[in-house]
Amino acid sequence: MRLSDLAKGSSVFLGVILAGYVSTIYVDRRLAPPPNPPAPTESPAPAKDPASSACIGEGGSWKNWPWPNVPMGSPKCQ
């Protein structure tokens, strides 16, 4: 390996690293959500009484659960 080959390889390697860093900054500024999103005025609160707690209804559908994530192992609805 000659010194010129090492210099070319090093410059390509450095160029790829620099391009990746610059593109990461660009993507973070253009596509990332703002650091402090505005808080919603009303957030859904979980039900406190046992009659309206999350349960699995007929056919496996969820009842009384306002959030998109679902707890595992909830009881079947009465």
Please work out, in degrees rounded to the nearest 5, the angle formed at the alpha carbon of residue 28 by the alpha carbons of 23 and 32: 145
Listed by start position, the domains of the chain span: 1-38, 41-78
Kindly report whether the global pTM for this prediction surpasses the value 0.75: no
**Dist. CA 43–CA 68, nearest whole Å:** 13
pLDDT in tens for each of the 78 residues of the chain?
899 999 999 999 999 999 999 998 888 877 766 677 666 666 555 545 544 677 777 777 777 777 666 666 667 777
**Dist. CA 47–CA 53, nearest whole Å:** 6
Give the H/E segment covering residue 62.
strand 62-63
